[in-house]
A = this chain, B = another copy of it.
Amino acid sequence: MTELDRSEVLRLENQVCFALVLATRGMIALYEPLLEPLGLTHPQYLAMLALWEKNPRTIKDLAEALQLTPATLSPLVKRLEALGVVDRRPSASDPRQLAITVTEAGMELLDKAATIPGAITERLQMDSGQLLDMYNILHTAIDAERRALDKDTP
């Protein structure tokens, strides 16, 4: 590699990973004022989306949906419990297991939450074709990353 090639390869602005970090950070910043009335951070919002879709569910099941380890997810769920939007009760199917259930207060957030995706799209002023392209290419990357990471696991 020549010096010139090397400086191009290592240029911060050229890194796809840097673009991912910036795009994610900017997107989360856009959600912040919209999530404030719900009292949720962005990771908590994602967890609530998964729970509104299906609850009660075990921590293991929720961790799979969010693609986190149960250990990483556990403090987040404890904060949601402290906020009063979920609680943990013995599971109906297996009473030795605790299942996460959305409380009445958690269900009451649903009306406000339903306005957020539209508000984000409006704030972004990206057309739906661009958003769909981004969604698709990100999922191509997610699949490629997963295949590469799976190879690491013996």
Contacts and interface: CB of A to CB of B under 8 A. Distances in A.
Given A9-B118, A53-B12, A65-B12, A148 B17 contact: no
B142 A7 contact: no
Nearest to A121: B16
B30 A149 contact: yes
Tallying the copies of this chain within the complex gives 2
Main secondary structure of the interface of A (DSSP, over half): helix
A10 B49 contact: yes
Interface residues of A, number: 63
A154 interface: no
Given A9-B117, A12-B49, A146 B17 contact: no
A141 interface: yes
A123 interface: yes
A72 to B, nearest CB: 10
B134 A7 contact: no
Contacts of A42: 17, 21
Given A15-B117, A23-B141, A30-B148, 7 more contacts: A12-B65, A15-B46, A15-B49, A25-B67, A27-B145, A124-B141, A124-B145
